[in-house]
Amino acid sequence: MVTERLCASCAALTGMSGAGIMLMADDLAQGSLCSTGPTSALIEQVQYTLGEGPCVDAHRQGRPVVEPDLAGTGAGRWAAFAELVVAAGVGAVFGFPLRVGAVRLGALNLYRDSPGDLSDDQHADALVLADVAAEVILLLQARAPAGMLADELARSADLHVVVHQAAGMVAVQLGIGVTDALVRLRAHAFAYDRPLREVADDVVARRLRFDTLDDQDD
């Protein structure tokens, strides 16, 4: 698939241990488009669950976010993210925003097993590859009917639709905004050491309600 080759090329051409592409909208992570392996997939998943990390910051700030020493300075930057990802053997992470003009699509994530900064050539290559990735995503989507997600993107992306459905339900239960509801979902998943998708499944299946959460915990 195009998206799988895209991630593999980003890792190979920059000399990184792995790469992933996270789609985002309205400053919220939507899910992972592709990753090169289990560690890259974990990096994407942890960022999605916690709402923090290099891709999230790169998208929100509109500029590259580099962390050459994740176990050191990175721990003060993203405490929960760094703890989980360093335990998986990640030494450094780098996020590059995906943009075409004013359109922001998400971020390219690169990682290496050992700490260390990017060389000037690696940084320049990553900027070009982020632009290429953004163009590829738009070209794929341009083939889709209006209001529909392109088949290639739909097959590739883990978009966590159920999480957004659950956030809407929690928003209604608590009388808060959807963004705040997503924060509640993430906090609950982190506190109970559960995948965010699993918590969302429980909400959608009505096994878990946030307006009676204290009663359910008793």
Greater pLDDT, 153 or 204 = 204
Q: Has residue 156 got a pLDDT over 70?
A: no
Comparing C-alpha atoms, which of 35, 20, 23, 7 is closest to residue 103? Answer: 23
- The per-residue DSSP string of 129-166 comes to HHHHHHHHHHHHHHTSPTTS--HHHHHH-B--HHHHHH
For the question of whether the overall pTM of this predicted structure is more than 0.85, the answer is: no
Stretch 80-96: mean pLDDT: 96
pLDDT, position 218: 46
Percent of the chain with pLDDT over 70: 88
Comparing C-alpha atoms, which of 35, 47, 41 is closest to residue 11? Answer: 35
Q: Which two three-digit tokens encode residue 119?
A: 């060389």
Lowest mean pLDDT among 70-74, 91-95, 183-187, 207-211: 183-187
Predicted confidence band at 66 (pLDDT cuts at 50, 70, 90)? very high
* Separation between Cα atoms, residue 218 and residue 211, nearest integer Å: 14
Q: Has residue 157 got a pLDDT over 80?
A: no
Q: Where in the chain are the domains?
A: 2-156, 161-217
Query: How is domain 2-156 classified at the CATH fold level?
Result: Beta-Lactamase (3.30.450)
